[in-house]
Structure 1
Amino acid sequence: MSSPSVRSEVVDGVGVVTLDAPERRNAFVLAMCDEAAAVVDELEADPSVGALVVTGAGSAFCAGADLSHLGGSHGTSDEEGLLAIYEGFLRFARSPLPTIAAVNGAAVGAGMNLALACDVRLAGASAKFDTRFLNLGIHPGGGHTWMMRNIVGPQATAATVLFGEVLDGAEAERVGLAWRCVPDDELLPLAIEMGARAASAPRELVERTKATIGDVAAITDHDVAVRRELVDQAWSVGQPAFKERLVALQQKISRSS
């Protein structure tokens, strides 16, 4: 599976998506956004894929987006043009599969949005998280401030978005933007290892669990949360995978006793 500037492979049940335009530091252009969305479509249609990892080729993760097509030069409104660019990262945000951003270098603007759109961010030692919107004279977009505030809170959002703080991998881990910061050569193996753990569980169970994590964000009452989880937990108890694993666990306990 591949496209001119996006390539993918499946490793241990993990769909690894690589932005492959190192000559422009993997910055999004309209065609690349379309390619990324199409690759995710293909991976999600593959029943052997249970998680997604996205990373960048070369020394950058994704250095933003080419906005030169805005201003009506292609017969579209600015809003339409921006929405087309957003698709490059929002397609990952909409995936029912668990997603990991393996940030191997600069993640700037739309590239930072790509990282934010994933469920988990892993940072290499060379990672740089740079919102840069205000420096370019443009308002943040793509849900950037909402994602940042939900992930790291208001102070870190203000520090990065308003005051231009650029976070390296270690700082990103410290403020909770990245789950872990590791040496660059350990980044992709760790992302695949984590993805493989999710992919080893029944896919529908994983998808339902990810959906629950999203749903409970809007729940403020414990009893309501209990009822929300009850529906899917009861469903899972009736699935063959649970019954098989329960028997295997019981046999393991009986052998050790």
Structure 2
Amino acid sequence: MADLVQYEKNADGVVTLTLDDPKTRNALTGSTMVDELLAAFARIERDPEARVLVIAAAGKVFSSGGNVNDMQRQIGPEVGGTALRQEYRHGIQRLPLALHALEVPTIAAVNGPAVGAGCDLACMCDIRIAAEEASFAESFVKLGIVPGDGGAWFLPRLIGMARAAEMSFTGDAIDARTAVEWGLVSRVVPAAELLPAAHALAGRIAANSPDAVRLTKRLLRESQHARLDTLLELSAAYQSLAHKTPAHAEAVRDFVARRAARKA
């Protein structure tokens, strides 16, 4: 069986994971997609050379979200409510926990529709870049269900409660231009420029100290729920670590040398 997630790492330490399941338009459930993504995240965590992750998709759809064929199985009497709860807990809900905890920065390169859980997958990333053809739909209510994979946590933090409520209560899609106006994506580019733009951004991140970038990401994560004094204590602890890294020492030496050269 072919892999549903293609793994590639370039010389800069930028890892690209490409969702590649054309039969389901890159659905996340009802297949090995989640397990393959989790295995890829674990591989990145073990790789000290990995610096940035880009999640992309083959075809014209970023992800169709949940597999409707699998939902037909779930509504049957042979699958009880308790069993369904465990399916979510031990299935797709592992995805937001693992992706949110990933130390390296993450970029979603959204090439087309990101629907339901596919929209949430993009929201789980630190940064989103969209092609002009991209759209985003928190569409669970259209199927009579709720965001079961963390969308109700991620989406309001990105675009605010009122707009998240509008998307979640109507299930309607927004286009790429609206997404950038609402702050859901950082930028919109022509389709041919999507991956180059994502990789260029990833390269600018990868050029910085990997230790400083990872610690900075952790501080941004903690700032979402920590008090200021608590975050300042954590910042001081992280800064003491950063000051002792070879990358910091080299950067300071280079800065001093450049300043001395300008004065000469």
TM over 0.5, shorter chain: yes
Inter-partner Cα distance in structure 2 for 1:113 and 1:205: 27
Q: Distance in 2 between matches of 1:37 and 1:74?
A: 25
Contact 2:96 2:150 in 1 (8 A): no
Task: Tell me which moved more, 2-11 or 48-57.
Answer: 2-11
Deviation per CA, 1:144-169: give whole Å up to 9, x if none.
11211111111111111112331111
The reply to whether residue 70 of structure 1 matches residue 69 of structure 2 is: no
Looking at structure 2, the residues matched to 136 and 235 of structure 1 have their Cα atoms a distance apart, in angstroms, of 49
After TM superposition, list the pairs within 5 Å mapping 1:241-256 onto structure 2.
241-256=247-262
Partner of 2:184: 177
1:22 and 1:59 in contact (8 A); partners too: no
Equivalent residues of 2:17, 2:55 under 8 A apart: yes
Whole-angstrom distance in 2 between the partners of 1:185 and 1:241: 35
Q: In the TM superposition, what are the counterparts of 1:120-131 in structure 2 within 5 Å?
A: 120-131=127-138
Q: Deviations over 1:44-91 (max 9, x none)?
A: 222211010101101010111124343575798101222302334543
The 5 A counterparts of 1:117-196 are 117-196=124-203
Counterpart in the other structure of 1:105: 112
In 2, Cα distance between equivalents of 1:137 and 1:130: 14
How far did residue 36 of structure 1 move?
1.2
**Is 81-90 or 180-189 further displaced after alignment?**
81-90
Q: Does 1:232 align with 2:231?
A: no
Distance apart, 1:203 and its partner CA = 2.4
Secondary structure at the counterpart of residue 4 of structure 1: coil
Partners of 1:79 and 1:219 lie apart in 2 by 30
Give the % identical residues: 33
Cα 1:200–1:30 shift into 2, 3 Å:
same
**Partner residue of 2:18?**
18
In structure 2, the residue matched to 1:219 is 226
Number of corresponding residues: 255
Q: Is the 8 A contact 2:15 2:52 kept in 1?
A: yes
Correspondence for 2:4? 5
Q: Is the 8 A contact 2:111 2:194 kept in 1?
A: yes
Task: Give the counterpart letter for 1:142 in structure 2.
Answer: D
In structure 2, distance between residues paired with 1:173 and 1:134: 23
> Aligned partners of 1:235 and 1:219: how far apart in 2?
20
Q: Please tell me the residue identity of whatever aligns with 2:257.
A: Q
- Whole-Å Cα distance in 1 between the matches of residues 190 and 108 of structure 2? 15
**Which SS does the other structure have where 1:177 is aligned?**
coil
Gaps of 5+ in 1: none
Q: Secondary structure at the match of 2:153?
A: helix
Determine the C-alpha separation between the residues in 2 that align with 1:91 and 1:224: 24
Aligned to 2:209: 202
CA deviations over 1:195-246 (Å, ceiling 9, x no partner): 222222332322211111111222343x444333122112211222111111
Which one of the candidate residues 91, 96, 99 is aligned to 2:103? 96
1:31 aligns with 2:35: no
2:160 alignment partner, SS class: helix
